[in-house]
Structures are given as C-alpha cells and as structure tokens.
Amino acid sequence: MDKLGLYISNLMTTTVDKEEKYFVRKLAFNELQRLNGDIGQFLLKWNNEFDEIPDELKREENEKQLILEFGEQNENNK
C-alpha cells in the first residue's frame, strides 16, 4: 500500500477505535475531512481534463471517419 493510503487507513482506524481517546479520534476525523476537501478540490480541478476526449484522439477519429466516408463514396461511384 502506498504511503498516503496507509496514512488514510491509519486515520480511519483511529477514528473508529472506541478505546482511543476522544480527542485523538476527533483529530483523526478532522484530518480525514481536510484530506477529503483537498482531494475533492483536486478532482474538480482536473475533471475536465479526463472527462473529455483529448484533441489528438478527436483528430485521429475525424481522420478515420473521413477515410471511411471517402472510401464509401469511391465504392459507390464504381
């Protein structure tokens, strides 16, 4: 498991551990909330980057479509 995953896992374990002091559990919970906000902001910032089809793929698909259409036109003109 990577470092961040282990860190988050430890925070979650601390949060649900009823034998741990309330103050420590609350600190772990607050840290999880902060991380949640930071990750949420990051995902919102980069969402459009990965939600759309990249320009180079769009160009390739357009070129393929033109080749297909041009090929069909030539087949029909024979």
Q: The whole model's pTM is what?
A: 0.61
Q: What is the pLDDT of residues 3-58, one digit of tens each?
A: 789 999 999 999 999 999 999 999 999 999 999 999 999 988 888 777 777 677 77
Please give the distance of CA 19 from its chain centroid, rounded to a whole number. 35
pLDDT score of 61: 77
Closest to 9 (Cα-Cα) out of 35, 38, 44: 35
75 has a pLDDT exceeding 60? no
77 has a pLDDT exceeding 60? no
Residues 2 and 19: beta-carbon distance below 8 Å: no
